[in-house]
Amino acid sequence: MLFDKKGGHNTGRTLDIALEEAVKRGIGYIVVASTSGATGVVAAERFADSGIQLIVVAHNTGFKAEGEWQMDPERKAKIEELGGTVYRGTMVLRGLGTAIKKKGGGSPEELVANTLRMFGQGMKVCVEMAAMAADAGLVPFGDVICVAGTAKGADTCAIIMANSSNNFFDIKVREILARPGRF
């Protein structure tokens, strides 16, 4: 699916594609990016009783402001109540590389992130989440479906063979299921 426009108005259709393909292909895990928890709640509601394991990946504490976490606690509780797992941890392509950039340097993380952004912001996030969820032991080292967006909501969905961040280049984008046609 190529969406005409990027953005959150594609969230429902993107999540539907993720669920349909997970069921059809026997993929038991869907990993969804959610900063505030809004997209995570929509995913949890849509995937409830599907038998699919939902992993919602949030920004790390301090991403925007020191000591603060951006996810709404009520949304986190709702995701978990519906059977999803919320994960927050260091972003593989941001953490230390961002600290180096703030001091005037460049980093390999930034180079990889910018290369993945050539396929859209959502694809960068999908690949990054596959590593983060594998690092945390929340998904198998194998095929998962990852859902992310360009800004708010979801407009990108891909089947990704997850692996740990220390084996980042063994991660494979198997198939792009949905993304913006222009970004």
Reply yes or no on whether the pLDDT at 62 is more than 60: no
pLDDT digits (tens, 9 = 90+) for 8-42: 889 999 999 999 999 999 999 999 999 889 999 99
Q: What is the per-residue pLDDT for 25?
A: 97
Cβ atoms of 39 and 150 closer than 8 Å: no
Q: What is the per-residue pLDDT for 93?
A: 81
The neighbour count for residue 132, using CB atoms within 10 Å, is: 27
pLDDT band at 131 (very low <50, low <70, confident <90, very high): very high
How does DSSP classify residue 158?
A: E
- Domains in the chain, please, with CATH? 2-180 (3.40.1380.20)
CB within 8 Å of 47: residues ≥ 6 apart:
15, 19, 30, 54, 82, 83, 84
Cβ atoms of 32 and 144 closer than 8 Å: no
Q: What are the strands, taking DSSP E only, across the chain?
A: 2-3, 29-33, 53-58, 85-88, 143-148, 156-161, 172-180
Buried b (16+ CB within 10 A) or exposed e, 112-127: bbeebeebbbbbbbbb
More confident residue, 7 or 178: 178
